Amino acid sequence: MTSQNQQTALSGVFNLLKFTFVIVPIVAGADKFVDLLTNWDLYLNPGLAGIIPFSAHTFMMIVGVIEIVAGIIVLKKPEIGGLIVAAWLALIALTLLAGLQFLDVAVRDLVMAIAAFSMARISKIIQ
């Protein structure tokens, strides 16, 4: 494969990852306000729910705003946004693992964190 073909292929992978990590955080964040995809309050670690000074739903709405902002950052600055999304997903996975609940979601979020980190690294090469 020529260098130009490699660059084109890498750009295609990058764009796919970039738009995934723009759309998914924004959609998931917006859904924290309407609960169409799921009841997000259930994903809050019960230990954490007991120490926050507001309801689980309010906490999830705050999470939603953070996710929407993260998606916008990926759109504007994918190198930085990818690292933010990767860290955010890893943190979510760790809270799920700590509560020993939704382990399938925790594994999925760790895989997505690796993909977001990879997108951030690729952005250094192609931009």
**At how many degrees (to 10) do helices 3-31 and 103-126 cross?**
140
Give the rounded distance of the alpha carbon of 88 from its chain centre.
6
- Return the amino acid letter for 71: G
pLDDT for the residue 2: 74
pLDDT mean by block of 10 residues, the chain; 127 residues: 79 94 96 92 84 91 96 97 96 89 92 97 87
- Distances in Å between the alpha carbon of 76 and those of 6, 112, 120? 24, 20, 12
Contact 40, 60 (CB under 8 A): yes
pLDDT for the residue 98: 87
Sign (positive/negative) of CA torsion 106, 108, 112, 114? positive
Q: Which two tokens stand for residue 67?
A: 């996710």
Domain segments of the chain as ranges = 3-126
pLDDT for the residue 1: 64
